[in-house]
Amino acid sequence: MGKLRIAAMGFAAGAVAAALLDPERGRSRRAQLADRGGALVRRTIRRTERGLRAAESELYGASQKLQHLQPEDPHPSDDRLLDRVKTELFGDPSVPKGQINVSVQDGTVVLRGYVADEPLKSMVERRARSISGVQQVDNRLNVTAG
């Protein structure tokens, strides 16, 4: 099996040499081979550089994320707590944003407005209670009939 492999490789090398050293078309084939080889090298370099830039960007983003991590303030101001509560509550599409009014006073979240049913009212209250910094929730939401 080894002799057959060596013979096949020798045959292939001879065919390549004959094609490249052909007196009529050898020069153009060698030039074409050089052009294609150069293009392959340039394309590989560009792809590698692009991949390295992407990896560098990902690492930079991750480092910035780590650098700017701040522990949550256990006792945020009312304005900051209001922003946190609104972000958490209204990020859920099932919560009717235009029908609920949220206010915060001394760490107590006050919910006013209208919701469609009792389970939604309870869910909104539970989510508000689970937010870091909320001391109490005053649920004044009304359930609309119909």
Across 115-136, b (16+ Cβ under 10 Å) vs e yields beeeebbebbbebbeebebbee
pLDDT at 119 over 90: yes
Query: Residue 72 domain-assigned?
Result: no
Q: Are 88 and 136 found together in one domain?
A: yes
142 neighbors 113 (Cβ within 8 angstroms): yes
Q: What average pLDDT does this structure show over 70-94? A: 87
**What tens digit of pLDDT does each residue of 7-55 get?**
889 888 888 888 888 888 888 988 998 999 999 999 999 999 999 999 9
Domain span including residue 137: 78-143
Supply the CATH number for residue 98's domain: 3.30.1340.30
